[in-house]
Structure 1
């Protein structure tokens, strides 16, 4: 009579070992950092086409596109921003690279200068801020509400 061929203890340990190795590889693969780019900086060959003192706002937009942001005043400039953000496991995303191309214009709307800034030129500046900070510090609502009551006189209250 023949012996039945089954998995046996050796086969069970082999399967368990493969399962543990597979789980370990999946866990290690999940811990690799991911990098994402946001924004747009025109390529250098496109920037070479812009001539300070000659090109205007319209010609800049035709050559390299509409900027991601512009200055508060119309004459202040165009800003093209590209950021590289590192995402790693449970940690907060971290900005690891940022490049800002600033194109300034004179009063007539002609290109004055092209300057590129990176993280090495300063600290990371948040480009959008969703919370407005007040200058009041820790003054509570009630204190703000009643803070001016002592400054009123009877003449001001009754109009005398």
Structure 2
């Protein structure tokens, strides 16, 4: 018959191992909001206005930096495993551009693939796409620099 002390030691060891395994399971978090393709298909380029867009897909996560030329919807998914630093697993940015009268001029969806801004979907009324420099600033520099770039050659 097993001694009570040995049984307690085994139970404690099992509890510690179970807690260790649970600590290693990934924790998924989602931040922000980006409208689905179905929601975006309800927006008509050249017809809808800021008010109708707000009714169809909700208010934006952020507006244009200097002027309110575009609305940006940003959604990021993060994964944390154990004690490690959280890692961004996916990012989507939806940019809805407006002309001077407040009518939808362009609807685009961007993703982040290998540190580069990728246009996943684009509906444009003109060849010139406005607001891309803001997106490149927002997404383009992630992981694109090294200590040598910052410190320079010495």
Same fold, judged at TM 0.5 (above): yes
Once the two structures are superposed, the pairs formed by residues 1-150 of structure 1 within 5 Å of their partners are: 9-120=2-113, 122=116, 125=139
**What is the Cα deviation at residue 70 of structure 1?**
0.6
Question: In structure 2, the residue corresponding to 1:112 is in which secondary structure?
Answer: strand
Q: Distance in 2 between matches of 1:49 and 1:40?
A: 17
Greater Rg by CA: 1
Stretch of structure 1 that moved more, 109-118 or 16-25:
16-25
Question: Which protein has the bigger strand share?
Answer: 2
Q: Distance in 2 between matches of 1:29 and 1:63?
A: 41
Residues matched between the structures, number: 122
Question: In structure 1, the residue corresponding to 2:139 is in which secondary structure?
Answer: coil
Unpaired segments of 5 or more residues in structure 2? 118-137, 141-150
- Inter-CA distance 102–54: structure 2 relative to 1 (3 Å threshold): same
Unpaired segments of 5 or more residues in structure 1? 1-7, 127-136, 138-160
TM-score (norm 2): 0.68
TM-score (norm 1): 0.66
Structure 1 runs of 4+ off > 6 angstroms? none
**What is the Cα deviation at residue 87 of structure 1?**
1.8
